[in-house]
Amino acid sequence: MPATAPEWHEPSSLEEALALLTEYGDEATVVAGGSFLGILINQRLLAPIRLVALRRVIDLDYIEASDGMLRLGAMATHRSIEQHGIVQEDWPALAFAFSVVASPRVRNQATVGGVVADADYASDPPSMLAALRAHVVARSVRGEREIPIGEFILGHYATALEEDELVTELRVPQSSGPSVYRKFRSRSSEDRPCVSVAAASDNGDLKVVVGAVADRPQYFPELCALANGEEITNELASEIGRRYAEEIEPFSDSRGSERYRKRVIAVEVRRALEDLGDG
């Protein structure tokens, strides 16, 4: 840990925040809600030199929807997303995924920009966002780019963000078909998932994403293609679940061993597909 406390910066505008990231580069650590960052600092896994806090950048706190596209400002909290009427009506699985994160106290603080930028393998929302084909908007003084979330999360705490870039928005298209999020906990009701499964159907195109089992959300388009144009029967759901379990090499941790996770993956993927069929 550093001998002195990190230098604190609190910009009041997006432009000021981006200028600070340009000036300090990899010495700057962004603070959104701070719920996960605080854990890393307390466990001595991170020793920031400079903290750039976004709590006064009100332009990043919004939830908007139009023409079938949901736009989530990076500082929108989990709680505000789960309780938003439009999200509950038109993106219900996404609202549910945010609603099962930890506790209300954490969800009141944690932000959507933070949860994708942290790239924590056991977070709930990224898998659901990936299944819904969400895109991350990254900004810097050089301009803006839009990145599919499947290409944004690269591994454990690793993303495609450049040093001078900031997550400013999530864009989530509305699926034409049903979607579902399943969270399997092996311990307490507020625990992070042992296995999570997000599934969505859009114009007959199925996307199943498994989270909390590897360094990034797991998606196998060739397996999902087995269901394209087909009725999702119990047999087909079981087949896709079994093959997902075969393809994924889960790691072991306090929530479950590799062998245990493989069994849960097969069951939860099958149940997610059965839920889609019922929807």
Lowest mean pLDDT among 31-35, 50-54, 76-80, 255-259: 31-35
Q: Using one digit for the tens of pLDDT, what is the confidence trace for 115-130?
A: 999 999 999 999 999 9
Q: Which two structure tokens, joined as six digits, stand for 2?
A: 């550093």
Which alpha helices (DSSP H) does 91-204 contain, by range? 92-99, 104-107, 112-118, 125-131, 149-152
Strand partners, 183: 196
On whether the pTM is more than 0.85, the answer is: yes
pLDDT of 1 above 50 = no
Q: Using one digit for the tens of pLDDT, what is the confidence trace for 198-248?
A: 999 999 999 999 999 999 999 999 999 999 889 999 999 999 999 999 999
Alpha carbon distance 249, 261 (integer Å): 9
Domains of the chain: 7-53 (3.30.43.10), 58-173 (3.30.465.10), 179-278 (3.30.390.50)
Q: Using one digit for the tens of pLDDT, what is the confidence trace for 126-177?
A: 999 999 999 999 999 999 999 999 999 999 999 999 999 999 999 999 999 9
Distance of CA 179 to the CA centre of its chain: 15
